[in-house]
Amino acid sequence: MIVLKTGRELNIMREACRISAGALQTAGKAVEPGVTTAEIDRLAEEYIRSQGGEPNFKNYEGYPATACISINNEVIHGIPSSKRKLRAGDIVSIDLGAKFDGYHGDNAATFACGDISEEAKRLMDATRESLYEGIKAARAGGRIGDISHAVQAYVEARGYSVVRQFVGHGVGTHLHEAPEVPNFGTAGRGIRLMPGMTIAIEPMVNAGAAGVEVQPDGWTVLTKDGSLSAHFEHTVAITADGPKIMTLI
């Protein structure tokens, strides 16, 4: 069931999203060669709690950390570790969120660790830009497929692939709510977008083929062909005046 938020609920969500965005910015600033992914996770959790929020990924369906930190050919859900040190040239996708007063925020971005390859830069740019193409299409009266098509068309025009096994989603009193928001699809199809809907749009884009596989830890998702992957995400409110990004600082 899709839940439309009232103005009061959107105000609470804005605070959850502000905390989420601040935590992501804090985590991103810590991405440097030699830093462990566990240290980045610790900084993100400390920030969220300092702002009066709770890390909403931690213990979600058994997930053990505040942030998902995925490196290079890891697509999503990489588990932070004190044994995992970043290296110059890595691209590091960080996905996290915060809960505040019963409502959730959710966002992600991919960060460069030191100097990265031109190939990696192009992939990151295309993924980030495809997110904003999707957001532009998230207009009241339109359809979910408008968002999906906008992302897919932008990504594939640049020779990359969108991941199909994992998709965006609604956000609210639950971290994952209806509707699903795929990064592929047909414009004009799918659920009607209405004011009060709050959704997480999150392109996951591979430099190679779209195929992915879950690792034995039950969480970490890799590209099947070993190609690089990037991930960007915002929580967005559908309003009568157009889409509003809630996870901007």
Tens of pLDDT along 58-88? 999 999 999 999 999 999 999 999 999 999 9
The residue type found at 193 is L
How far is residue 180's CA from residue 152's CA, in Å, rounded to a whole number? 15
How far is residue 23's CA from residue 193's CA, in Å, rounded to a whole number? 29
pLDDT higher than threshold 90 for residue 249: no
pTM higher than the cut 0.85: yes
pLDDT higher than threshold 90 for residue 45: yes
Confidence category of residue 201, pLDDT binned at 50, 70, 90: very high
pLDDT of residue 52: 98
How far is residue 230's CA from residue 208's CA, in Å, rounded to a whole number? 11
pLDDT higher than threshold 90 for residue 211: yes
* Average pLDDT taken over every residue of the chain: 98
How far is residue 177's CA from residue 56's CA, in Å, rounded to a whole number? 14
**Mind giving me the DSSP string for 215-244?**
-TTSS-EEETT---EEE-BEEEEEETTEEE
Half-sphere exposure for 222 (CA within 13 Å, toward CB): 9
Longest CA span, the chain? 49
How far is residue 25's CA from residue 137's CA, in Å, rounded to a whole number? 25
**Mind giving me the DSSP string for 154-205?**
HHHHTT-EE-SSS-EEE-SSSSSEEEEE-SS--TT-SSBP-TT-EEEE--EE
Six-digit token pair at 141?
A: 């009266």
Confidence category of residue 199, pLDDT binned at 50, 70, 90: very high
How far is residue 151's CA from residue 203's CA, in Å, rounded to a whole number? 7
The answer to whether 234 and 79 are in contact (CB under 8 A) is no
pLDDT of residue 145: 98
The answer to whether 63 and 113 are in contact (CB under 8 A) is no
pLDDT higher than threshold 90 for residue 35: yes
For each of the domains in the chain, give its residue range(s) and CATH number, in order of start. Answer: 7-245 (3.90.230.10)
Backbone angles phi, psi at 192, to 5 degrees: -70, 135
Six-digit token pair at 196?
A: 């009060």
Percentage of residues in the chain with pLDDT exceeding 90?
100
Percentage of residues in the chain with pLDDT exceeding 70?
100
What does the pLDDT look like over 116-167, one tens digit per residue?
999 999 999 999 999 999 999 999 999 999 999 999 999 999 999 999 999 9
The residue type found at 247 is T
The answer to whether 2 and 191 are in contact (CB under 8 A) is yes
Q: Which of 179, 15, 31, 178 is nearest to 97 (CA)?
A: 15
pLDDT of residue 23: 99
pLDDT of residue 46: 98
In whole angstroms, what separates CA 58 from the centre of its chain?
A: 16
